[in-house]
Structure 1
Amino acid sequence: MNLLQRIEWRLYKERKRRRLKNLSPTIISSNCNGEFIYYDMKLKFMSPTINLSFDMNDYVRMLENLRWYMEQPIFPYDDPRFSYPTGMLGDIEIRFNHYKTFEEAVNKWEERKRRIDWDNLFILGIDGDNCTYESIRRFDALPYKHKVIFTHKEYPEFESAYYIKGFEQETGVGVLLGFKQQFLVRRYLDDFDYISFLNEG
């Protein structure tokens, strides 16, 4: 990223921040997409789903009974597939991708869980992480007013599906926080107008 691109990228994010009216959303996200919205908009983390990820089937199951799961303790769980800490929230595995220890991850989860604004919820998912068509159907049926699932192809039958171009040859969307190959510095996530989405709250 050259100097001109860095300046334009900074100004782009500043323009977005000026548009944002909802300054305390609770963004429940299946991976780091929600976290980077908080970062880019310089918002306080009002959600426990920061620096972690879920299998999409686990994530949808959690969302189907979110208040109950938010009352459950997290127990350590050693998943040999991963080098970072993992835990079990009831029957849901949480992958603490960006934490060094399980204790640190759980402390942050509990701290941010207390900030949840149940009247200002925004739900983000992806059609990756073992997501199936049935996962998308169940996500679309969730009783949340503000929800979106990012997909690698169009699903006109699902109101909450939002197609992100560039992953058509994949089995699901890739890393939406990656930068697109173009002069203007934009993440794939920026294809979605999340400012208007959050301002609906």
Structure 2
Amino acid sequence: MFSLIKKISNRLLRKCINQKLRARLKNHQMSVISSNCNGALMLHDLGEQFRSPFVNLYLAPADFIKYLQNPTFYHTQILQFEQTEQPYPVATLADIRLHFMHYHSEQDAREKWQQRSARINWDNLFIIMTDRDGFTEADLQAFDALPYTHKVVFVHKPYPEIKSAVYIRGFEQQSQVGALYEYSGWLGKKYYDQFDYVSWFNQKS
């Protein structure tokens, strides 16, 4: 009963929070490229269209960085689906692997990838990464060196020397950040709300 009350309370409060976030948002044409679900869930909170195929999937950190180093090349490649033991479709795009963890079929994953790839606004890009799924210090350095104006990497401990690092409190006793889209308490706040992503999106140059 206690957990149910907390769940209902957070959902009701979240609706109010999302309304306020949406009212503040001025940039409605951004494309968010995220290594996992965080970017898509932020956009869902904001009621924005997905202008990137990086929705309901994840990439290993090294593969995500490799994609970001040459996105034009990867978007000329064809998805090749593999037979794996995973309960969701997995595909390679040249030498990187995409885990379509919230898709039910290869056809659905392919169609959504193609549709959303066509919507990418290359002049209004925002890049999001997290220090999980095998993330290393080398990945952190490589990500920070990428030539994107708007990029953040959510980390579980402070990295003052890394310009793109955003420290998310609550995971200090772990080796990585957890699910940042989950509620962090009773007030409808999610872990990624520690980062003012609406102000960040509004920074389009």
The TM-score normalised by the length of structure 2 is 0.94
- 1:5 deviates by 4.5
Q: 1:36 aligns with which of 32, 36, 41?
A: 41
Deviations 1:104-123 (A, max 9, x none): 10110000000000000000
> Which residue of the partner structure matches residue 12 of structure 1?
17
Deviations 1:58-87 (A, max 9, x none): 11111111111111111011233x211100
> Which residue of the partner structure matches residue 65 of structure 1?
70
Q: Which amino acid aligns with 2:87?
A: S
Residues 1:150 and 2:148 are matched in the alignment: no
Identity among equivalent positions (%) equals: 41
Deviations 1:117-154 (A, max 9, x none): 00000000001011100001000000100000000011
- 1:7 deviates by 3.5
Query: Using the alignment, how far apart are the partners of 2:159 and 2:144 within structure 1?
Result: 11
- 1:2 deviates by 6.3
Q: 1:75 aligns with which of 73, 80, 90?
A: 80
Residues 1:190 and 2:190 are matched in the alignment: no
Contact 2:128–2:151 (Cα < 8 Å) also in 1: yes
Deviations 1:30-75 (A, max 9, x none): 0000110111111111011011111111111111111111111110
2:126 aligns to what SS in structure 1?
Answer: strand
* Gap change, CA 1:91 and 1:2, over 3 Å in 2: closer
Q: Which amino acid aligns with 2:21?
A: K
- 1:185 deviates by 1.3
Query: Using the alignment, how far apart are the partners of 2:42 and 2:7 within structure 1?
Result: 23
Contact 2:81–2:92 (Cα < 8 Å) also in 1: yes
Residues 1:132 and 2:136 are matched in the alignment: yes
1:129 aligns to what SS in structure 2?
Answer: coil
- 1:102 deviates by 1.1
Contact 2:51–2:119 (Cα < 8 Å) also in 1: yes
The number of residue pairs the alignment matches comes to 199
- 1:3 deviates by 5.8
Query: Which runs of 5 or more structure 1 residues have no equivalent in the other structure?
Result: none
Runs of 4+ with >3 A deviation? 1-7
Contact 2:182–2:190 (Cα < 8 Å) also in 1: yes
CA root-mean-square deviation: 1.2
Deviations 1:152-196 (A, max 9, x none): 01111110000001111111111101111x321111011110001
> Which residue of the partner structure matches residue 98 of structure 2?
94
Query: Using the alignment, how far apart are the partners of 2:60 and 2:9 within structure 1?
Result: 38
Query: Which runs of 5 or more structure 2 residues have no equivalent in the other structure?
Result: 1-5
Residues 1:25 and 2:35 are matched in the alignment: no
